[in-house]
């Protein structure tokens, strides 16, 4: 079954518009994260980077699907895409990178530069001092 040219053009235009909109959003999000320093800034930057990679991969996949000549090719492309995506997550791809980044930031929040618990809490009572108060 052949996909009519108008339908293919509409799909290509839609993907291009969506990609531009997402790109603009990601740029704004990155600027916002950079403007507001905090203990989780690195985690937010890493999450944005992971999201950007996943979005680019998805848009590339959508373009490949639009070039497919028949349903068999669509199924083959989809299977390969899913296998690749699943493989990345199972082998410690993006999810593990985000988890490692989050854990590092959590440690940095608990143990400050001087090694004292809670010293990165910007003037708040340390965790051990809170426990002694109760």
Model confidence pLDDT, tens digit, residues 35-63: 888 888 888 889 999 999 999 999 999 99
17: tokens are 């518009």
Residue-level pLDDT at 92: 56
The pTM of this model reads 0.60
Distances from the Cα of 97 to the Cαs of 45, 50, 94, 101, in angstroms? 12, 9, 5, 6
Pick 77 or 96 by higher pLDDT: 77
Work out the burial of residue 51: count CB atoms within 10 Å of its CB; fewer than 13 is exposed, 13-18 middle, 19 or more buried.
middle
The label of the residue with tokens 């203990």 reads: 39
Q: Give the model confidence (pLDDT) of 99-115 as tens digits.
A: 665 566 555 555 444 44
Average pLDDT over residues 16-25: 94
* Residue given tokens 């994260």 in the structure block: 33
CA distance to 12, 28, 109, 126, per residue, from 60 (Å): 11, 22, 38, 48
Q: What is the pLDDT of residue 98?
A: 58
In 3D space, the residue among 37, 46, 33 whose CA is nearest the CA of residue 103 turns out to be 46
């Amino acid at each position: 079954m052949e996909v009519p040219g108008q339908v293919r053009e509409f799909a290509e235009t839609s993907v291009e518009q969506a990609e531009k909109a997402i790109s603009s959003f990601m740029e704004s999000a990155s600027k916002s994260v950079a403007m507001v320093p905090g203990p989780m800034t690195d985690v937010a930057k890493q999450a944005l980077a992971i999201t950007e990679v996943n979005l680019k991969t998805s848009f590339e996949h959508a373009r490949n699907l639009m070039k497919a000549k028949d349903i068999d090719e669509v199924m083959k492309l989809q299977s390969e895409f899913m296998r690749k995506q699943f493989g990345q997550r199972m082998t410690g791809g993006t999810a593990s990178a985000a988890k490692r980044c989050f854990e590092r930031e959590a440690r940095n929040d608990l143990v400050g530069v001087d090694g004292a618990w809670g010293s990165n809490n910007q003037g708040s009572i340390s965790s051990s001092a809170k426990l002694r108060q109760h």
